[in-house]
Amino acid sequence: MNLREAFSPPTPTIVLADNAFGMSDGKTANGVVMHSDVFSVEAVVDTERAGQTADEVLDRAGVAPVPIVESTRSALDAVPDAEAFILGVAPAGGQLPSAWREDIRRAIAAGCDVVSGLHTFLGEDEELASLAADHSVELFDVREPLADDALRVADGRVDDADAAVVLVAGSDCAVGKRTTTVELYTAARAAGLDVGWVATGQTGIMVGAHAGVAIDRVPADFTAGVVEDLVCDVAAEHDLVFVEGQAALAHRAYAGVTLSILHGAWPDAVVLAHDPDRDHRAHFERFGSTDLGHEIDCVETLSDASVAAVSSWNVPATEPVDVPVANVYDDNGPARLLDAVRRSCSEATSSAQST
């Protein structure tokens, strides 16, 4: 899915954060506010943080002072020209909370398209679908599975792509893969490079990836093939392609999808996102965190790519490695990672030409 094709940026937007803005459960809301190329967020709905602004809550440089209000009614009053309403939280189980129905109804009645990353598809809800039709707006379910004719097994055609491909992988879940991908994309664009990116999660699609899929909705046999197709599509239009990874190769719960992304993208270089402060996997206390060196070995053993750099929130605590380590929220962090990526891709190209 490419929401760039459905909306005309910058689209005036309201984000429903449901008392999770600035928290990990509100990562979709956080990501859209900080990074979207498609949606211009004009108000955030979060009762608990009403009266504050997005820059105060997120505490990140460059974040706009978007007002946080207590209700969708207040947001629509404040942003009467809103064209999109984004569900910015993924509740447990991915179901539609009953309390959100009135918010969605109000947004539809005000003429807003609704963008959702829930496992419950709004388009299959008879009431909401009928209301959307009555008001001539669309419901976008970014996690909706691909059609059967869009599924195929990877065959290696990504090897023929003219673009350099860079995968942003990780040592665990929720370590900053999507944020690192977007920051690298932004740095590359600022450097004048012809760059695009591929999302593999719902937030990345909403932020404005040039192509994307909620990869956990793809049947296992076809995951690598779907990623390969997305990478090839973006590579046909750009010289450099960043790919958002998921989970970690040494993660017992999710390694299958991680490996499929690695093999489908078949990158020229990898940036590894890492949190050195964890003593167990996110949400899996019985799974100890892997060490960074082991994850690097996994990447380089299971692909032809080298790890070019490490993206870490806590650079001093990250164990020593033979590649640059940078924090994408530091002033020069994305540029340092991009320099390492460009060197690695150049070396990979030289090596391929000599063989």
Is there a single domain that holds both residue 211 and residue 120? no
Higher pLDDT, 186 or 91: 186
* Residue-number span of the structural domain to which 155 is assigned: 150-344
Residues 196 and 245 in one domain: yes
Q: Say whether both 55 and 183 belong to one domain.
A: no
Residue 182 in any domain: the answer is yes
Q: Is residue 27 part of a domain?
A: yes
From CA 21, how far away is CA 45, in angstroms rounded? 9
What is the pLDDT of the chain when averaged over all its residues?
94
pLDDT at 24: 82
**Widest Cα–Cα separation across the chain:** 63
Whether the pLDDT of residue 114 is over 90: the answer is yes
Looking at the structure, do residues 106 and 255 belong to the same domain, yes or no? no
Same domain for 162 and 137?
no
* 101 shares its domain with 72: yes
Give the chain's domain count: 2
Q: How confident is the model at residue 288 (pLDDT cuts 50, 70, 90)?
A: confident
Q: The domain spanning residue 156 has which CATH number?
A: 3.40.50.300
Q: Is the pLDDT of residue 157 over 80?
A: yes
DSSP string, 77-117: HH-TT--EEEE----GGG---TTHHHHHHHHHHTT-EEEE-
CATH number at residue 126: 3.40.50.720
For residue 354, pLDDT over 60 is answered with no
Q: Is the domain of 332 the same as that of 204?
A: yes
Predicted confidence band of residue 350 (pLDDT cuts 50, 70, 90): low
User: Is residue 160 situated within a structural domain?
Assistant: yes
Residue 58 lies in a domain: yes
Average pLDDT over residues 264-284: 93
Sheet architecture: strand order including 139-141: 68-69, 39-45, 11-16, 84-87, 113-116, 139-141
* Rounded-to-integer distance, Cα 326 and Cα 155, Å: 35
Would you say residue 352 has pLDDT above 70? no
Q: In what order do the strands lie in the sheet with 269-274?
A: 211-212, 195-199, 240-244, 164-170, 269-274, 306-312, 325-326
**352 belongs to a structural domain:** no
Q: For residue 353, what pLDDT band results from cuts at 50, 70 and 90?
A: low
Tell me which of 141, 160, 175 is where a domain ends: 141
Claim to verify: residue 177 and residue 326 sit in the same structural domain = yes
In the predicted structure, residue 296 carries a pLDDT above the cut 70: yes
